[in-house]
């Protein structure tokens, strides 16, 4: 990269004009070079537009000197938009935000904060929210102070072949329906892959999420999220974490050397935050974890987090791989206290996986006063199978 | 509704969606501001031609200390319809004209203007369209610049101190980011309750709504006494609460309302909002990112320094500051008002 356009005004104005004037079917090119951009670039109410660079490391939109707008590139209220082969760098807020758009394809797009992890980096790298038909392929996200690849309140989502590193959360699927997350490489984040449902949002309940064939390794980065944010509650050393979501299948993943939690399945109560949203369901249900490979060197879990401290007190450096808070959704419990068929927590055929059931309801009067005596490591009661969930695969 | 009718409606909606392009909107816009004939020559005095009526708002939006002159143009024979204190219905062809300028020395505000830009909000068949025109250096005309622009400017402030600024003219899409209500582009300022105040016309001071009635511009309008009014945020005769709520209404509520672009936040700041949690009192942030400033709540009554509100108003960082757009400077006087308001808020 030798060509740096310090005389940005020409490109920025020219490109923003093209974004405004684009007609259905147009392809807009981002030429090679590092283009310095001072304000948010935006595309609004357009259909069938392609924005294409000449390569992820060739066409770079640099927002290092940005002084206006809260995002790098913003796409709103659009339909069938394709972005490919370019990088968005050092934006002051989110790198790419796509809102209320049907059909968004990202291919070989990179979002990066070049100084590495820092609490002053923008929150999200690649951030589709309130969208449907989201397709993210072969993308990269580096350095986000919340989530690198973050799909929120969306329906019909694919995230594949992508890499997330040095973020607080690598890949996060939040309050979304029908999502497939596969063949990704999440490494060096605080948490590798998160599947969360949070309260107070418009799309209340996420479900039908499949996480498979991913390599999730060494996600041991100190949590650098600004305080006050939910992702700040994720312990360093988390591989895959499911919170308050239903119908999640996790299989064929390699989950390697995440020091605190390999795979965690927890209710929202573990955040210690109160819930005022009466339409929110804080529990997990229909969780199926199978055929994953776990490897973990003996190492100390994160002691900055009460879960990590608890594990260390109980297990030293050799802590279990799959952690369940043992808090099933009461609405699905039969009279004898077991979950109705199809709503269970099931683990099967995992390689090298030790299991821990926190049995939160028995063991914790309050989260901060654990009576760490009677955790169960018996996984036989959870040895069951769930049918694969039907995820809409029509979208490529 | 029958299924087929619903399908037709969806289909029409789809056609409408796909037809939203810019070309047709550009067709109805002039390239030069002078072509609209809003101002007498020389244009830089901003003296309106007949039929172009000046107005102001009881409390205006802060835009980096820019001075503003607003006008409304109605097509001949057309009238505004009064709906209620919150809204007028403006006829097709209505154009709002908002001029942004900096006097060279704010202590002499009527002299030596540097007019930066004129924004038009035009009510067309395809809805409201925002159009930014940037003035030339000679101040003889302004040109449509859909991508917005930047300009280094400076002025002497009221205290006699020189200020400088790289002024940012918003682009065509930026206009929409503030002016969308319920998915549709709308005017923000000209609500009856914000117009219901006095203005100094050439002929003397008069209530603006009375003036509009006198000019026969509005139908179905009751006497201004029966129309609510919003406080002037600078009027020390008004209560702090009214002034602060007026400030929030104008500077924040265009996005922060249940149908605005910031509805995901749950923070609603309209003048009439009464739910303390929605106003921000002891409300935790939803997705503020580093905008939280490590604080737990939007507003902690009695403690402005622990309130996210103040943190974001006092920041110039584009990833933190509120409002997100339309300012690069902090509004010192607005901050003082908000600090006083939060300090005096009751804890229960």
Residue whose tokens read 């004129």 = B118
Q: Work out the pLDDT band at A376, boundaries 50, 70, 90.
A: confident
* Beta-sheet pairing, B95-103 with B87-89: unpaired
Our CA-based measurement puts residue A155 at a distance from the nearest CA of chain B, in whole angstroms, of: 17
Report yes or no: A274 at the B interface, CB cutoff 8 Å: no
Of A67, A124, A202, the CB nearest to B328: A67
pLDDT in tens, A205-237: 889 999 999 999 999 999 998 877 788 889 999
How many Å separate Cα B6 from the centre of its chain?
36
Residue A222 lies in a domain: yes
Of A42, A123, A130, the CB nearest to B289: A123
How close are the terminal C-alpha atoms of chain B, in Å?
Answer: 47
Neighbours of B149 (CB within 10 A): 17
Q: Give A17's contacts in chain B (Cβ within 8 Å).
A: 146-147
B182: nearest Cα among B124, B257, B122: B257
Q: Give B296's contacts in chain A (Cβ within 8 Å).
A: 228
Q: How does DSSP classify residue B324?
A: S
The helix/strand/coil state of B329 is: coil
Percent share of chain B, pLDDT over 70: 92
Q: Is residue A98 within 8 Å of A75, Cβ to Cβ?
A: yes
How many angstroms separate the CA atoms of A300 and A263, rounded? 17
How many angstroms separate the CA atoms of A268 and A255, rounded? 23
Burial (0-12, 13-18, 19+ Cβ within 10 Å), A55: middle
Of A20, A68, A202, the CB nearest to B318: A68
Our CA-based measurement puts residue A78 at a distance from the nearest CA of chain B, in whole angstroms, of: 9
Residue A376 lies in a domain: yes
pLDDT recorded at residue A272 = 74
Of B147, B266, B295, the CB nearest to A200: B266
Report yes or no: A299 at the B interface, CB cutoff 8 Å: no
Q: Give B183's contacts in chain A (Cβ within 8 Å).
A: 77
**For chain A, what is the domain count?**
1
Our CA-based measurement puts residue A149 at a distance from the nearest CA of chain B, in whole angstroms, of: 15
Q: Is residue B44 within 8 Å of B140, Cβ to Cβ?
A: yes
Q: Extract the tokens encoding A85.
A: 């082969």
The DSSP-derived string for A69-114 is EEEEEEEES-EEEEEEEEEEE--SSEEEEEES-EEEEEEEEEEE-T
How many angstroms separate the CA atoms of A168 and A160, rounded? 19
Question: What are the residues facing A172 on neighbouring strands?
Answer: A150, A194
Query: Chain B residue closest to A45 (CA)?
Result: B20
* Torsion on CA atoms B284, B289, B291, B293, rounded to nearest 10: 70
pLDDT recorded at residue B111 = 93
Residue A107 has pLDDT above 90, yes or no: yes
How close are the terminal C-alpha atoms of chain A, in Å?
Answer: 33
CB contact under 8 A, B292 and A228: yes
Residue A265 lies in a domain: yes
Count CB pairs under 8 A between chains A and B: 115
Omega before residue B250 within 30° of 0, cis: no
Q: Extract the tokens encoding A66.
A: 């940005």
Q: Is residue B221 within 8 Å of B89, Cβ to Cβ?
A: no
Q: Extract the tokens encoding B286.
A: 């939803």
CB contact under 8 A, B264 and A16: no
The helix/strand/coil state of B152 is: strand
Q: Work out the pLDDT band at A60, boundaries 50, 70, 90.
A: very high
Residue A44 lies in a domain: no
Per the structure, the complete domain to which residue A198 belongs is given by 151-382
CB contact under 8 A, B148 and A44: no
Q: Work out the pLDDT band at B28, boundaries 50, 70, 90.
A: confident
How many angstroms separate the CA atoms of B230 and B223, rounded? 16
Burial (0-12, 13-18, 19+ Cβ within 10 Å), B104: middle
Residue B225 has pLDDT above 70, yes or no: yes
pLDDT in tens, B109-133: 999 999 999 999 999 998 999 999 9
Report yes or no: A39 at the B interface, CB cutoff 8 Å: yes
Residue B97 has pLDDT above 90, yes or no: yes
How many angstroms separate the CA atoms of A144 and A214, rounded? 20
**Averaged over B218-228, what is the pLDDT?**
93
**Residues of A numbered 58-87 whose beta carbons fall under 8 angstroms of chain B's beta carbons: which are they?**
66-70, 76-77, 79
Our CA-based measurement puts residue B192 at a distance from the nearest CA of chain A, in whole angstroms, of: 30
Q: Extract the tokens encoding A277.
A: 């949203």
Q: Give A77's contacts in chain B (Cβ within 8 Å).
A: 183
Report yes or no: B318 at the A interface, CB cutoff 8 Å: yes
pLDDT recorded at residue A371 = 54
Report yes or no: A330 at the B interface, CB cutoff 8 Å: no
CB contact under 8 A, A13 and B149: yes
Q: Is residue B132 within 8 Å of B170, Cβ to Cβ?
A: yes
**Averaged over A25-40, what is the pLDDT?**
96
How many angstroms separate the CA atoms of B312 and B292, rounded? 8
**Averaged over B83-108, what is the pLDDT?**
96
Residue A164 makes CB contacts below 8 A (sequence gap 6+) with A125, A140, A141, A142, A148, A149, A170, A171, A184, A185, A186, A187, A189, A192
Sign of the CA dihedral B106, B107, B113, B114?
negative
pLDDT recorded at residue B197 = 96
Our CA-based measurement puts residue B179 at a distance from the nearest CA of chain A, in whole angstroms, of: 13
* Beta-sheet pairing, B113-124 with B127-135: antiparallel
Our CA-based measurement puts residue B287 at a distance from the nearest CA of chain A, in whole angstroms, of: 7
Strand spans (E) along A296-354? 322-324, 345-348
Report yes or no: A371 at the B interface, CB cutoff 8 Å: no
CB contact under 8 A, B318 and A146: no
Report yes or no: A202 at the B interface, CB cutoff 8 Å: yes
Residue A355 lies in a domain: yes
Q: Extract the tokens encoding B55.
A: 């107005």
**Residues of A numbered 134-163 whose beta carbons fall under 8 angstroms of chain B's beta carbons: which are they?**
145-146
Query: Chain B residue closest to A16 (CA)?
Result: B147
The answer for A103, left when phi > 0, alpha when psi is -120 to 50, beta otherwise, is left
Q: Is residue B148 within 8 Å of B176, Cβ to Cβ?
A: no
Residue A348 lies in a domain: yes
A350: nearest Cα among A298, A283, A296, A305: A296
Which of A229, A230, A232 best tests the B interface by mutation, with the highest count of B CBs <10 A? A229
Q: For chain A, what percentages of helix, strand and coil (3-state, to nearest 5) are there?
A: 10, 45, 45
Residue A36 lies in a domain: no
Instruction: Report CA-CA distances (Å) from A267 to A113, A199, A262, A323, A340.
Output: 32, 12, 16, 12, 18
Q: Work out the pLDDT band at A203, boundaries 50, 70, 90.
A: confident
pLDDT recorded at residue A233 = 86
Residue A139 lies in a domain: no
B129: nearest Cα among B93, B76, B99: B93
How many angstroms separate the CA atoms of A13 and B277, rounded? 41
Query: Chain B residue closest to A67 (CA)?
Result: B318
Sign of the CA dihedral B231, B233, B238, B240?
positive
CB contact under 8 A, B166 and A201: no
pLDDT recorded at residue A179 = 96
How many angstroms separate the CA atoms of B291 and A228, rounded? 10
Report yes or no: A277 at the B interface, CB cutoff 8 Å: no
CB contact under 8 A, A228 and B23: no
B51: nearest Cα among B42, B34, B39, B68: B39
Residue A17 makes CB contacts below 8 A (sequence gap 6+) with B146, B147
* Beta-sheet pairing, B80-84 with A59-62: unpaired
Q: Give B17's contacts in chain A (Cβ within 8 Å).
A: 45, 47, 79
Report yes or no: A23 at the B interface, CB cutoff 8 Å: yes
Sign of the CA dihedral B74, B76, B78, B79?
positive
Our CA-based measurement puts residue B317 at a distance from the nearest CA of chain A, in whole angstroms, of: 7
How many angstroms separate the CA atoms of A200 and A24, rounded? 36
CB contact under 8 A, B177 and A123: no
Residue B174 has pLDDT above 90, yes or no: no
Of B173, B285, B324, the CB nearest to A42: B173
Question: What are the residues facing B330 on neighbouring strands?
Answer: none
Residue B347 has pLDDT above 70, yes or no: yes
**Averaged over A165-194, what is the pLDDT?**
97
pLDDT in tens, A287-322: 999 999 999 999 999 998 888 888 888 888 999 999
CB contact under 8 A, B17 and A67: no
Instruction: Report CA-CA distances (Å) from A6 to A62, A66, A67, B10, B15.
Output: 10, 13, 15, 47, 42
Residue whose tokens read 């154009």 = B95
Q: What is the ipTM of this complex?
A: 0.80
* Torsion on CA atoms A60, A65, A71, A77, rounded to nearest 10: -70
How many angstroms separate the CA atoms of A303 and A199, rounded? 28
How many angstroms separate the CA atoms of A208 and A389, rounded? 6
Average pLDDT value over all residues in chain A:
90
Q: Work out the pLDDT band at B84, boundaries 50, 70, 90.
A: very high
Which of B134, B173, B263, B267 best tests the A interface by mutation, with the highest count of A CBs <10 A? B173
Report yes or no: B326 at the A interface, CB cutoff 8 Å: no
The C-alpha R_g of chain B, in whole angstroms, comes to: 21
């Amino acid at each position: 990269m030798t060509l740096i356009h310090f005389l940005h005004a020409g490109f920025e104005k020219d490109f923003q004009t093209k974004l405004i004037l684009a007609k259905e079917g147009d392809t807009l090119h981002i030429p090679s070079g590092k283009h310095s951009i001072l304000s948010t670039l935006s595309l609004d109410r357009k259909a069938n537009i392609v924005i294409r660079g000449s390569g992820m490391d060739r066409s770079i939109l640099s927002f290092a000197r940005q002084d206006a707008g809260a995002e790098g590139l913003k796409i709103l209220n659009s339909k069938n938009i394709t972005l490919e082969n370019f990088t968005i760098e050092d934006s002051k807020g989110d790198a790419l935000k796509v809102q209320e758009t049907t059909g968004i394809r990202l291919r070989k797009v990179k979002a990066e904060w070049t100084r590495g992890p820092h609490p002053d980096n923008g929150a999200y790298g690649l951030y589709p929210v309130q969208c449907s038909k989201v397709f993210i392929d072969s993308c990269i996200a580096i350095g986000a102070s919340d989530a690198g690849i973050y799909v929120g309140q969306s329906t019909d989502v694919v995230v594949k072949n992508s890499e997330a590193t040095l973020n607080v959360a690598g890949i996060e699927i939040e309050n979304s329906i029908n999502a497939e997350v596969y063949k990704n490489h999440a490494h060096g984040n605080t948490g590798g892959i998160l599947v969360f449902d949070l309260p107070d949002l418009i799309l209340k309940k996420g479900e039908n999420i499949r996480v498979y064939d991913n390599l999730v390794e060494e996600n041991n980065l100190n949590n650098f999220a600004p305080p006050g944010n939910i992702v700040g509650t994720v312990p360093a050393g988390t591989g895959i974490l499911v919170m308050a979501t239903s119908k999640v299948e996790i299989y064929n993943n390699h989950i390697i050397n995440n020091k605190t939690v390999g795979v965690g399945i927890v209710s929202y109560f573990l955040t210690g935050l109160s819930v005022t949203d009466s339409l929110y369901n804080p529990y997990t249900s229909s969780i199926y974890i199978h055929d994953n490979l776990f490897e973990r060197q003996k190492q100390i879990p994160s002691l900055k987090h009460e879960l990590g401290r608890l594990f260390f007190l109980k297990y030293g450096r050799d802590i279990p791989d799959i952690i369940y808070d043992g808090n099933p959704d009461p609405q699905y419990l039969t009279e004898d206290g077991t979950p109705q068929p199809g709503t269970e927590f099931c683990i099967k055929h995992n390689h090298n996986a030790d299991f821990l059931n926190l049995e939160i309801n028995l063991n914790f009067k309050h989260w901060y006063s654990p009576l760490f005596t009677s955790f169960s490591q018996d996984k036989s009661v959870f040895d069951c199978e769930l049918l694969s969930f039907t995820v809409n695969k029509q979208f490529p | 509704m029958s299924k087929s009718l619903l399908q037709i409606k969806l289909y029409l909606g789809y056609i409408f969606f796909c037809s939203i392009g810019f070309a047709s909107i550009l067709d109805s816009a002039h390239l030069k501001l002078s072509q609209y004939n809003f101002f007498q020559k020389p244009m830089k005095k901003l003296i309106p031609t007949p039929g172009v009526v000046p107005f102001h708002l009881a409390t205006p939006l802060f835009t980096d200390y820019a001075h503003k002159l607003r006008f409304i143009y109605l097509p001949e024979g057309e009238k505004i319809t009064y709906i209620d204190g919150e809204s007028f219905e403006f006829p097709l062809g209505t154009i709002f004209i908002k001029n942004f300028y900096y006097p060279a020395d704010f202590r002499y505000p009527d002299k030596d203007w540097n007019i930066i830009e004129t924004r038009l909000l035009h009510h067309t068949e395809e809805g409201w369209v925002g159009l930014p025109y940037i003035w030339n250096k000679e101040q003889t005309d302004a040109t449509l610049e859909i991508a917005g622009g930047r300009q280094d400017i400076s002025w002497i402030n009221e205290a006699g101190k020189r200020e400088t600024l790289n002024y940012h003219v918003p682009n065509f899409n930026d206009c929409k980011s503030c002016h969308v209500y319920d998915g549709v582009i709308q005017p923000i300022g000209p609500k009856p309750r914000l117009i219901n105040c006095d203005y100094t016309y050439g002929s003397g001071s008069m209530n603006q709504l009375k003036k509009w009635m006198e000019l026969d511009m509005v139908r179905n309008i009751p006497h201004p006494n029966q129309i609510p009014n919003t406080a002037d945020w600078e009027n020390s005769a008004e209560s702090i609460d009214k002034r602060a709520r007026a400030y929030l209404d104008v500077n924040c509520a265009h996005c922060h309302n249940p149908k605005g672009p910031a509805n995901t936040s749950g923070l609603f700041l309209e003048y009439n909002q009464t739910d303390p949690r929605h106003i921000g009192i002891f409300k935790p942030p939803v997705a503020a990112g580093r905008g939280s400033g490590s604080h737990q709540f939007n507003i902690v009554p009695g403690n402005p320094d622990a309130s996210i509100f103040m943190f974001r108003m006092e920041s110039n960082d584009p990833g933190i500051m509120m409002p997100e757009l339309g300012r690069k400077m902090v509004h010192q006087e607005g901050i003082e008002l908000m600090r006083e308001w939060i300090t005096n808020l009751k804890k229960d």
